[in-house]
Structure 1
């Protein structure tokens, strides 16, 4: 059961960070991508260095995992309460704000008889 939960957790993380993983893979393999996979590898004056391949991979990932609302649908309206809390205003303004509330500590005779330091011989 733990193994299944761990595999599911990794799958969710991989899907969530897929764009970051593509960029990391590009930076780790930039020399190989620039010399073998780049569309403009025969034109060094363009200084592409594999950025075209990175752009293609990011577009492919975007098509695979679309984010946001599809073009034909609109986002649902989220209700927003724009009400002012007028009932609480007089109560909050009438009481002074205190940072510290001091409670005096008094010992009674009962506590002194039960809890005391050990007697020294």
Structure 2
């Protein structure tokens, strides 16, 4: 059952690809009728059209119909915006969580390392 459903969906999906082949197959199957009745150049046998004008018109009309359907589908497709970029500049406002007290021992310049007396550059 699943295989049959898969084949039906596959054929339904690929059917538009084979529509031009169907038109060409119809032309080859009914070439005599098309050449005698439907051909525009049947009064001019020296052109040897044999209904190719009919085939060209059908294929052109079919292509235009597919293009129109594709254009309509594209226009009707909804737009999904995945990202939003604001044009406003980023305004950073710092948030003060708590006031801290700075002890005088940790002020810059008040700390001296005990290694300052040991490691000194050579004097020339």
- Greater radius of gyration (CA): 2
- Which range, TM-score by smaller chain? 0.3 to 0.5
TM-score, normalization: structure 2? 0.46
TM-score, normalization: structure 1? 0.47
